[in-house]
Amino acid sequence: MAVADLHTKINLQYSSRLSYVSNRLSYSRRFSLRPLPQPHNSRICCSVTSKEVQAPVTVNTEDPKKKPDCYGVFCLTYDLMAEEETKSWKKMINIAVSGAAGMISNHLLFKLASGEVFGPEQPIALKLLGSERSFQALEGVAMELEDSLFPLLREVSIGIDAYEVFQDADWALLIGAKPRGPGMERADLLDINGQIFAEQGKALNAVASRNVKVMVVGNPCNTNALICLKNAPDIPAKNFHALTRLDENRAKCQLALKAGVFYDQVSNVTIWGNHSTTQVPDFLNAKINGIPVKEVIKDTKWLEEEFTEKVQKRGGVLIKKWGRSSAASTAVSIVDAIRSLVTPTPHGDWFSSAVYTAGNPYGIAEDIVFSMPCRSKGDGDYELVKDVIFDDYLRSRIKKTEAELLAEKRCVAHLTGEGIAVCDLPGDTMLPGEM
Ligand code: LMR
């Protein structure tokens, strides 16, 4: 929808969100002069009462694009507890997604809305953050969400201001970032994207839930996550993740292929370090059918060289084939990463996530975001796995990816509040997609 159309919608809105009241799951009201769209499906129940219609109306004179606006059918009011099928539902959660008009989100949002991530009893509100440039596309995304009639999707709002969109977010999936352009130095990329994540960290700190879980996907994701958490001092640093689950999935696939087993037989795979070409896919602790990988795949040269490099550079090979970055598999891995936090980790297994290193038991430098093995009870939190082993090969590889992250950190000191940036990045510092 064009900006002019948006203005003609004249959103004379009274909007109130009362916290969980008695038996109501969530309650939100919005009023508009334009006719309200009709529900498309009986599963969605509109319960705008005459009492509500008499509520005070305020004129919103702000640019509607600055405010996250409920979209279409999602502007209707629902009494979730009025329907038999919703009586067992949990309290609605707010999921903010940046880069919401992009390819990764286009896969992810529909998975979130379907219930496959948070489960069939978890209603959700999607708060979509785009940019001025992508606003029309964002509306297109919202339209497709409308047309999908997801029962669990109770609210969708779109906006371009992180301070508005991140309001009360329980989850923030930070996908939007600038790709490295031609001739752009890595330091420039760190700076440009770092500024986005510094701003989003501040916004989360100001308006998100105090226990918001943050998943940074936009590259360079580890350092972006570090910048984000440094700018959000009121949110536990432990709540910030950078996505390395895609790398874990890639590693599992390659090990399965080599061993001639289906990939569900591969477990205990850790990705250590940075989501970059220095990442370390750990074959020392990994298992196939419960047996250490090195006992199943005896070709150590293959493990150390071909396997490791394949995982490190998979993103780049994919870009060559597709002409763009991985999107569907990234979205799937975001789903996996979230599910690993909201469901208990299978006994004896673990998952990889790049998290804050403070107090880590492996001797990895403190105060960076580093992919490590985690376990969760399914409460959104995690603990680092202690029973892992190291050998000289693994230690030396971990040192290299650690050095890279420490250099990235020095390069963004101006964005983390740690003084003047000094950019002495190692020459081989590259994203998986850069070859
Ligand atoms: C990936 O791993 O597929 C992406 O992070 C690649 C990239 O560099 O964008």
Lookup: tokens for 363: 């001797």
Mean pLDDT calculated for residue range 278-299: 98
The minimum-distance atom of ligand 1 relative to the CA of 329 is: 3
Q: Is 275 a catalytic residue?
A: yes
Q: What is the pLDDT of residue 64?
A: 46
Based on C-alpha coordinates, what's the Rg of the chain?
23
For 64, the 3-state DSSP assignment is helix
Q: Would you say residue 138 has pLDDT above 70?
A: yes
Q: Look at ligand 1, atom 6, and give the residue with the nearest C-alpha.
A: 433
Cis peptide before 426 (omega within 30 of 0): no
Strand partners, 173: 97, 215
Other CB atoms within 10 Å distance of the CB of residue 390? 15
CA of 147 to the centre of ligand 1 (A): 31
Q: Look at ligand 1, atom 1, and give the residue with the nearest C-alpha.
A: 315
The minimum-distance atom of ligand 1 relative to the CA of 246 is: 2
CA of 316 to the centre of ligand 1 (A): 7
Closest CA to 252 of 296, 311, 302: 311
Lookup: tokens for 169: 């977010």
Position 26 confidence tier, pLDDT thresholds 50, 70, 90: very low
Q: Look at ligand 1, atom 3, and give the residue with the nearest C-alpha.
A: 315
E strand or H helix at 98: strand 93-98
Q: Would you say residue 28 has pLDDT above 60?
A: no
At 51-79, the pLDDT tens digits run: 333 333 333 444 544 556 889 999 887 77
CA distance 246 to 254: 12
Q: Would you say residue 113 has pLDDT above 60?
A: yes
CA of 319 to the centre of ligand 1 (A): 8
Q: Look at ligand 1, atom 2, and give the residue with the nearest C-alpha.
A: 315
Q: What is the pLDDT of residue 424?
A: 87
Q: Look at ligand 1, atom 9, and give the residue with the nearest C-alpha.
A: 433
Q: Would you say residue 30 has pLDDT above 70?
A: no
At 176-192, the pLDDT tens digits run: 999 877 777 778 889 99
Other CB atoms within 10 Å distance of the CB of residue 85? 9
Q: What is the pLDDT of residue 81?
A: 76
Burial (CB count within 10 angstroms: exposed 0-12, middle 13-18, buried 19+), residue 321 = exposed
At 378-421, the pLDDT tens digits run: 999 999 999 999 999 999 999 999 999 999 999 999 999 999 99
CA distance 398 to 271: 10
CB 146 within 8 A of CB 75: no
Position 80 confidence tier, pLDDT thresholds 50, 70, 90: confident
Position 3 confidence tier, pLDDT thresholds 50, 70, 90: very low
Could you tell me which residues come within 8 angstroms of residue 273 by beta carbon, excluding any fewer than 6 positions away? Answer: 222, 279, 280, 354, 370, 371, 398, 401, 402, 404, 405
Which mutation among 107, 219, 314, 333 tests ligand 1's pocket best, with the greatest number of atoms within 8 A of CB? 219
Could you tell me which residues come within 8 angstroms of residue 319 by beta carbon, excluding any fewer than 6 positions away? Answer: 325, 326, 433
Q: Would you say residue 19 has pLDDT above 70?
A: no
187-219 exposure pattern, b = at least 16 Cβ within 10 A, e = fewer:
bebbbebbebbbbbbbbbbebbbeebbbbbbbb
Q: What is the pLDDT of residue 79?
A: 77
CA of 214 to the centre of ligand 1 (A): 19
Q: Which of 40, 107, 241, 275 is catalytic?
A: 275
Q: What is the pLDDT of residue 67?
A: 57
Q: Would you say residue 16 has pLDDT above 70?
A: no
The minimum-distance atom of ligand 1 relative to the CA of 318 is: 3
Other CB atoms within 10 Å distance of the CB of residue 83? 16
At 243-281, the pLDDT tens digits run: 999 999 999 999 999 999 999 999 999 999 999 999 999
CA distance 256 to 261: 5
Which mutation among 190, 431, 434, 435 tests ligand 1's pocket best, with the greatest number of atoms within 8 A of CB? 431
The minimum-distance atom of ligand 1 relative to the CA of 247 is: 2
Position 25 confidence tier, pLDDT thresholds 50, 70, 90: very low
CB 96 within 8 A of CB 169: yes
Other CB atoms within 10 Å distance of the CB of residue 102? 23
Average pLDDT, the chain: 85
CA distance 235 to 107: 28
Mean pLDDT calculated for residue range 10-24: 26
% pLDDT > 90, the chain: 72
Mean pLDDT calculated for residue range 102-128: 97
Q: Look at ligand 1, atom 7, and give the residue with the nearest C-alpha.
A: 433
CA of 324 to the centre of ligand 1 (A): 9
Determine if residue 146 is left, alpha or beta; phi over 0 gives left, psi from -120 to 50 gives alpha, anything else beta. Answer: alpha
Q: Which of 77-86, 103-112, 312-321, 335-344 has the lowest mean pLDDT?
A: 77-86
CA of 250 to the centre of ligand 1 (A): 12
Q: Tokens 């994203």 appear where?
A: 431
CA of 376 to the centre of ligand 1 (A): 26
% pLDDT > 70, the chain: 84
Q: Tokens 């959700």 appear where?
A: 124
Q: Enumerate residues lining ligand 1, CB below 6 A.
A: 219, 246, 315, 318, 325-326, 431-434
